[in-house]
Amino acid sequence: MVDVGTDADVIRASRGDPHRFSEVFDRHFETVHAFARRRIGIDLAEEIASETFARAFDQRTRYDLTVANARPWLLGISSNLMRRHWRTERRRLAAYARHGVSPHADTAARAEDAAALAAVLSKLSKGERDVLFLYALAELSYEQIATALAIPVATVRSRLARARRRLRTELTPKPSPQVEESANA
């Protein structure tokens, strides 16, 4: 099947010919799957990605056809599905923080860094985590995140600023008391 046109064109066409929606799937499945994999792990990523496209297909008649690229919409659906898993995600981050274990760490130093990051991420609000992950993992713009989460761009900016501030504050190494004493001597 040859894909022609924007995602909006394909979605419009899929309203009359449901098979056309497979073009949207082909264009964006890997992005949605990678986002879910980074966010909730490989075990649930396939399920979330598949459910995202099933819901998108069911909701395609409500898609805003003035938006050419469906990626933010799909990642918004994916984020909403992952909210159901937020308790699991929070527990996983807390476990990484407690045990210094991360499935993405391949060295002891990276495991320690991952544990510290997980501890900070577990303290963020759901909204801050959603915005941060869509920005950092899915590489969406502020406007795309706003579309994905159905929130104002100003809210995206403030949540991302709070998340960055907390990450910076809690992950910046603190000088040891010995260093401070020698600096004052």
Domain membership flag for residue 176: no
Using a 10 angstrom Cβ sphere, with 0-12 exposed, 13-18 middle and 19 or more buried, the burial of residue 111 is middle
**Could you tell me the two tokens for 34?**
């990678």
Instruction: Give, for all 185 residues of the chain, the pLDDT tens digit.
Output: 455 699 999 999 999 999 999 999 999 999 999 999 998 888 889 999 999 999 999 999 999 999 999 999 999 999 989 887 766 666 766 666 665 555 554 555 555 676 778 788 888 998 999 999 999 888 899 999 999 999 999 999 999 999 999 988 888 877 766 655 555 55
Structural domain contains residue 138: no
Range of the domain at 42: 1-84
CATH of residue 77's domain is 1.10.1740.10
End-to-end C-alpha distance for the chain, whole angstroms: 74
Total domains in the fold of the chain? 1
